[in-house]
Copies of this chain bind each other. A is one copy, B any other.
Amino acid sequence: MSLDTARMVRMANAIRALSMDAVQAANSGHPGMPMGMADVATVLWSEYLRHDPKATDWADRDRFVLSAGHGSMLIYSLLHLSGYEHPTIDDIRNFRQLGSPCAGHPENFLLDGVECTTGPLGQGLAMAVGMAIAERKLNADFGDDLVDHRTWVVAGDGCLMEGINHEAIGLAGHLKLGRMNVLWDDNQITIDGSTDLSTSENIKARYEATGWHVATCDGHDFDDIRRALDEALANERPSLIACRTVIGKGAPNKQGTSATHGAPLGDDEISAARDVLGWEAKPFEIPEEVLSDWRGTAGAGARAHGEWLDRLSAHSQRTEFERRMAGDLPENFSLDGYIQSLIAEPQKVATRKASEMALGEINGQLTETMGGSADLTGSNNTKAGGIGPFTADDYSGRYIYYGIREFGMAAAMNGMALHGGVIPYGGTFLVFTDYCRAAIRLSALQQTRAIYVMTHDSIGLGEDGPTHQPIEHVQSLRMIPNLLVMRPADAVETAECWDIALRESDRPTVLALSRQNLPQVRTSADETGLSSKGAYRLKQAEGERRVILVATGSEVHVALECAERLEQEGVGADVVSMVCTQLFDEQDESYKADLLPNVAPGEILRVSIEAGTTFGWERYTMSNGLNIGIDRFGASAPASDLFEKFGITADAIVPQIMNKLNG
C-alpha cells in the first residue's frame, strides 16, 4: 500500500535534508547522489525492499547494496529513518568523524544493514552478483520456504563504466539471476562533468546484449518508479532500471551539475534548498510525522519475517540451515584422516594437485563450499569431489565456470561470503591476482571467508614466461592487512592450509600453489597441524645451529637440500618452513624466538629462500642475513632451466652461505 504523494515527497526530502546537512557538517562528502536518488530510494525502501529493521540478520531478507558508495548518506539516512538501531541521529551528526559508524563510505563491519563495503566503484554491483548466486544456491538447497529473496543495487555511472561491470553483468546475465535488480542513477554527471566528456555508450543496449532486461523510469515520479520496479519484478532476467534523475535534486542553483557530486553545498545553497523543498526542520531533526511514516513502512517486513520464522521452526532442515547461515563447519569436519593417509603414502605432486586432492575430501564432507575458476579449471585443479556446475538450469550445482573474469569472480566470491550460507573458493594464476587485487583487498577489509586458489606461483610455471611468472605477488599480497597468504611446501601442508582457511571465518586466504611437482617434506605421523603456527622447524640442526634456512612452498625442499649439504660440511642448519608469515607474526614471543632466536646478528646466519622478490625478507633474516630470491622479471624456458638461471638451487645457494659464514 502506497502512501500519498505528498507524504512520499516529505519522506524523500528527509533523506535530502540529512544528506546535505551531514555533508555540510563534515565539510566533506557527496550530497548529489543521495539527493538525486532520494525519490527512488524512498519507493524502494518503503514499498519493495523486504527487510526487518529490528532483525538485521534475518537470513531471508532482501539484500540492498549501495554500489555507488560515495553516496553513503543515502544508506545512512535510510537505515536511520527505517528504524535500524544504528545509525542514530548522533552517528549521522558525526558523519565522517573518528568513531562514527557513518564512515565516508559504507562499511559492512561498522553497521548492520550495510551488506558490503563499497566505494571502490563497480565492486558493489559485482558483489551483489555473488549475493544473488548464494541466494539461488540456498534456494536450491533449502527451498522457497526458507530462501526466497531479492538483491537490489543502487549504482551510478562510475559503477557502470568500470570494467568489472562487464564481467559482473556478463556472469549475472549468463546465470539468469532474475532476482537481481540494479537501479541505475542515470544523472548524466560524473566528477569531471557531463558523461558526454568520456562516454558515448548506449548502456541500455549493452545490458540487453548481455542478457539483461532493461526498464526505464523518471526517477522523480513515484508512480513511474513503481511501474518500472513492477516491470523488473515480473521479468525473469536480471533487470537494469534506468532511473532518470537530477543529481543534487532540490539544491536550486547547483542541481544537475557536478558541483553537487563531491562537495558540501554550502550554507546559502542549503538554505535555498530548504526553501525549495519546503523543509523547515532544523539540521538533523526529522519532523515527527515524517519519521512516523518512515517507521510505519517496517511493518510489512516484520510480518514477513514472523511468518518466515514460523516456517523455519517447522522446517526439517532447520538445524542444517542455521549452521550454514552461521558459517560454522560441521562438528565432525576433519582432514586428519586424509593427512594421515598422505603420511602413510607420501605423494610427489604439485601443490595445485595436492589442493585438488584436499578439495576432494573437503567437498565430500561439506555441502557449503562453492568452487570455480576464471577459465583455468584444469590448471587450477579447482573442480574436485564430484561437484557439478552451478548453471541457470541447475542452481544446486557447486562449481561456477566464471569465464575469463578474474575481478568479477573475486568480487562475486566476496558477495557470496557476505551473503552467508556458502563458502566460496575460486582460482586463477597467481600473477593474475593483479587483475583482481582490488577485490582481494575488499575481502580483507570486509573480513570475508573467501579462499583464493592461486596456482602457477613462481618461475616454476616455466615456458609461459615473464607475463605469467609472479615475482612480487606473494610478498605484495602479504602486505594487505587481514589477508592470510599461504604458500605450502607439499601435500600435507596444502591440506593443513585448506583446513586453516576454512576455519578462518573472518579472514580471506590466498593459497599460492605450484604448477610443478614437489616432494613431500612432511612424513612424520607424530606432528600434524604445524602450519597453523605460520612457521615451524621442519628440520633441526644436527650439531650447533649456525644457519637457519627459512623457505616457503616450492623452495622448502631446496632448503632441505642446502641443509643436508651444510651438515656435510659440518655446519648445523635448521630448516624453517614459513608457510604463512602473518600467522607466524601472531605467535607468542617464545615460539618466535625458538624458531628465530634473538641473538646478535652474525651469531646465527639466517637465510631466506623464496622464488620471488627478496624485498621484505629482511624482516625475518635480520640485517646481516642472506636473501635468496628473484628481483627481476622472469623468462620463458622450462622450469628447471629457470631455477638454475636464477640461482634457486642448492648448488647456487650453498656456496653463498659458506662465503657468508667464512667472510
Cβ proximity bits A86-106 to B, threshold 8 Å, 1 near / 0 not: 000000000011111001110
**Nearest opposing residue in chain B for A406, CB measure:** B162
One of B158, B197, B481 near A471 (C-beta < 8 A): B481
* Total residues of chain A contacting the partner, CB 8 A: 107
| A436 CB to nearest chain B CB (Å) | 9
* A192 and B432 within 8 A (CB): no
* B633 and A379 within 8 A (CB): no
One of B157, B170, B192, B624 near A201 (C-beta < 8 A): B170
User: A183 CA to B432 CA in the complex, in Å?
Assistant: 25
Q: Which of A137-145, A566-574, A635-643, A653-661 contacts B (4 or more CB under 8 A)?
A: A635-643
With A103-B635, A403-B199, A633-B482 known as contacts, the answer to whether A191 contacts B376 (CB < 8 A) is yes
| A19 CB to nearest chain B CB (Å) | 15
Q: Is A457 an interface residue (CB 8 A)?
A: no
* A375 and B198 within 8 A (CB): yes
User: A594 CA to B601 CA in the complex, in Å?
Assistant: 22
* CB-contacts of A127-150 with B (<8 A): none
* A161 and B170 within 8 A (CB): yes
Q: Is A47 an interface residue (CB 8 A)?
A: no
* A211 and B206 within 8 A (CB): no
> A642 contacts which chain B residues (CB < 8 A)?
98
Which of the listed residues A29, A464, A637 has the most CB atoms from chain B within 10 Å of its own CB? Answer: A464
Cβ proximity bits A157-180 to B, threshold 8 Å, 1 near / 0 not: 110011111110011011000000
Q: Is A480 an interface residue (CB 8 A)?
A: yes
* B104 and A465 within 8 A (CB): yes
One of B98, B618, B638 near A619 (C-beta < 8 A): B618
* A601 and B615 within 8 A (CB): no
User: A29 CA to B211 CA in the complex, in Å?
Assistant: 34
Cβ proximity bits A494-522 to B, threshold 8 Å, 1 near / 0 not: 00000000000000000000000000000
> A209 contacts which chain B residues (CB < 8 A)?
201-203, 205-206, 209
* B28 and A404 within 8 A (CB): no
One of B191, B208, B210, B615 near A379 (C-beta < 8 A): B191
* A378 and B192 within 8 A (CB): yes
| A289 CB to nearest chain B CB (Å) | 33
* B198 and A402 within 8 A (CB): yes
| A90 CB to nearest chain B CB (Å) | 16
One of B200, B476, B618 near A211 (C-beta < 8 A): B200
* A163 and B157 within 8 A (CB): no
Q: Which of A113-121, A295-303, A531-539 contacts B (4 or more CB under 8 A)?
A: A113-121
One of B191, B434, B635 near A375 (C-beta < 8 A): B191
**Nearest opposing residue in chain B for A623, CB measure:** B622
* A192 and B479 within 8 A (CB): no
User: A211 CA to B402 CA in the complex, in Å?
Assistant: 27
> A163 contacts which chain B residues (CB < 8 A)?
162-167, 405, 407-408
Q: Is A69 an interface residue (CB 8 A)?
A: yes
Q: Is A632 an interface residue (CB 8 A)?
A: yes
| A198 CB to nearest chain B CB (Å) | 3
User: A389 CA to B616 CA in the complex, in Å?
Assistant: 42
* A467 and B120 within 8 A (CB): yes
Q: Is A645 an interface residue (CB 8 A)?
A: yes
* A445 and B200 within 8 A (CB): no
> A211 contacts which chain B residues (CB < 8 A)?
200-201
Q: Is A592 an interface residue (CB 8 A)?
A: no
* A375 and B174 within 8 A (CB): no
| A92 CB to nearest chain B CB (Å) | 13
Which of the listed residues A28, A29, A162, A633 has the most CB atoms from chain B within 10 Å of its own CB? Answer: A162
* A468 and B167 within 8 A (CB): no
* A468 and B174 within 8 A (CB): no
With A192-B377, A211-B201, A623-B601 known as contacts, the answer to whether A441 contacts B434 (CB < 8 A) is yes
One of B190, B462, B480, B633 near A404 (C-beta < 8 A): B190
* A475 and B479 within 8 A (CB): yes
A–B pairs, 23, beta carbons within 8 Å: A26-B463, A29-B463, A96-B638, A97-B641, A103-B636, A105-B464, A117-B467, A120-B432, A163-B164, A173-B200, A192-B377, A198-B404, A201-B209, A201-B211, A205-B208, A209-B209, A444-B633, A475-B476, A481-B631, A481-B632, A616-B618, A618-B623, A622-B623
The 9 closest A-B pairs by CB, nearest first: A163-B163, A198-B403, A166-B166, A103-B636, A205-B209, A472-B479, A119-B467, A98-B637, A476-B476
